[in-house]
Amino acid sequence: MHDTEPQNAYPLGLPAGERLRRFKAVPLRLLIPNLITLLALCLGMTAIRFAFEGAIVWAVTAIAAAAVLDGLDGRIARALKGTSRFGAELDSLADFVDFGVAPGIVLYFSGLDRMVSLGWLASLVFCIACALRLARFNVTVDSPDVPAWRKNFFVGMPAPAGAIVGMLPVYLRFLLSARAHEPRFVALEIAYVLVIALLMASRVPHFSGKSIGRVPHQYVAVVLIGLAVALLLIVNFPLQSLVALSLAYLATIPFSVRRFLAMQRENG
């Protein structure tokens, strides 16, 4: 008989209590933003399924819902002080599926497939541009060399906006019905998708929604009414509302470039 314990009493090399102390409990505030990101990822994957099944409108709706959740998860994480490197990486991977892969497949199966290889090439370029946009964002987001004023701008069209604006041909195809199926319209759609892909991969500045802060007290009622009206319009006229949002966003690009250059001159 040996007085000492067998060597395999603690197979992991540490007593059970010590091993349990090594695994720290994860606060709920860290899980909530990640769960929202995963829900957005599920919507992106569901959009791909709808595209394969020919339910294009439902696919568009799923991507739009994923864009809404993408705008919420970061804000909720900051509000709950639940930001983490893991959450940032998860968000980036989900964004590529939601706003790169899913829109590319929706675009292809909603009309670009009529040009076969050329249409598929446009979809591939769109996905690649989204991946490049997200990769560049990941390597520059924490850079200490970026001036504070530049945080009011995105470098290149953000991925959620690229997805919503990039699917403008899909909305118009359903609104214009038979006329949009002519080959010349498909060629215009391909050209448009390539332009949006270029805007995502480029360094053209875009206004950042992160600069929107608190609403002044005197404007709270106006903002609430405006949001309610916008929500009702989106619910009752989804495609028309997405067309209006896409055109409105495209119209802001010249103003964002002008404002960026002005601030660049002011700050040397």
| 10 or 29, greater pLDDT | 29
Whether 36 maps to a domain, the answer reads yes
Q: Whole-prediction pTM value?
A: 0.84
Whether 20 maps to a domain, the answer reads no
Q: Which of 75-79, 88-92, 100-104 has the lowest mean pLDDT?
A: 75-79
Q: Which of 9-13, 183-187, 202-206, 213-217 has the lowest mean pLDDT?
A: 9-13
Confidence at 245, pLDDT banded by 50, 70, 90: very high
Mean pLDDT for the stretch of residues 198-226? 77
Mean pLDDT for the stretch of residues 125-139? 92
pLDDT in tens, 96-122: 999 999 999 999 998 888 888 899 999
Whether 5 maps to a domain, the answer reads no
Whether 150 maps to a domain, the answer reads yes
pLDDT over 60 (residue 13): no
CA distance 2 to 137: 61
| 58 or 218, greater pLDDT | 58
242 token code pair: 């997405």
Confidence at 226, pLDDT banded by 50, 70, 90: confident
- Overall number of domains in the chain: 1
Whether 257 maps to a domain, the answer reads yes
10 token code pair: 């603690």
For residue 238, give every residue at least 6 positions away whose Cβ sits within 8 Å of its Cβ, in sequence order, or none.
Answer: 57, 60, 61, 64
Whether 10 maps to a domain, the answer reads no
Whether 62 maps to a domain, the answer reads yes
Using CA of residue 164, residue 165, residue 166, residue 169, what is the dihedral sign?
Answer: positive
| Strands annotated E in the chain | 153-155, 205-207
Q: Which range, 28-42, 166-180, 202-216, 223-237, is most confident?
A: 28-42
* Cβ count near 163 (within 10 Å): 31
pLDDT over 50 (residue 1): no
Task: Return the CA Rg of the chain.
Answer: 23
| Percent of the chain clearing pLDDT 70 (strictly above) | 81
* Domain span holding position 244: 26-266
CATH code for position 95: 1.20.120.1760
CA distance 173 to 185: 9
pLDDT over 60 (residue 218): yes
Indicate the average pLDDT of the chain. 83
Whether 11 maps to a domain, the answer reads no
